[in-house]
Amino acid sequence: MRRRPSAFTLIELMIIVAIIGILTAIAIPKFASLIRSSGEANGKGNLASLRSALNVYYGDLEGQYPPDLAALTVSSKYLSDVPATKTPYYHADSSSELDGGISAFNDAGGWLFNNNATDPNVGELNVNCTDTDTKGSVWSAY
C-alpha cells in the first residue's frame, strides 16, 4: 500500500491565493468608503455641537447671537474650542470662520457663520463647502 503525501498541491495553493485576492479586492474599497463615511459623520456631529452651543448662547443672552464662534469658547462655558469641519477629501480640516450670510460662500472650507444682526437669518451656521458628501447632499445645505 502506498501512502499519499500530506502536503498541498500547487493547484490547491493557487486556488487559495486567488480566493484571498478576490476577497481583498472586495474588502479594500468597502473599507475606504467606511472611513470616508465616518469622517463625514464626525463633521456633521461637529456642526450639530456648534449649533447647539449657539442656541444655548442665544438663550442665555436673551436673543443675541455671539459676534463670532470664538465667543462660544470664552471661559469654556459653551465649548472648550471650536471644532474642525471635517469635510473629507475636499478641504483640510479647519475650524476657521467666514462671517456673513449665504452670499458669502467661497468654498474655502471651515464654518460660515451669519453674524449680521440686520439679516433675518442671523445666527445661521453652515459648512463653507459646496461639494457633495457620499449620499450626494451638498455640504453647505446642512
Percent composition of the chain: helix, strand, coil (DSSP 3-state, to 5): 45, 10, 45
Which DSSP symbol is given to 2? P
Q: What pLDDT is stored for residue 82 in this prediction?
A: 92
Q: What pLDDT is stored for residue 5 in this prediction?
A: 66
CA distance 10 to 113: 65
Q: Using pLDDT thresholds of 50, 70 and 90, give the confidence band for residue 100.
A: confident
Higher pLDDT, 25 or 103: 25
Of 56-60, 115-119, 120-124, the range with the highest mean pLDDT is 56-60
Higher pLDDT, 78 or 134: 78
Cell numbers describing residue 94: 479647519
Per-residue pLDDT tens for 33-81?
888 888 889 889 999 999 999 999 999 988 899 999 999 999 888 999 9
Q: Using pLDDT thresholds of 50, 70 and 90, give the confidence band for residue 1.
A: low
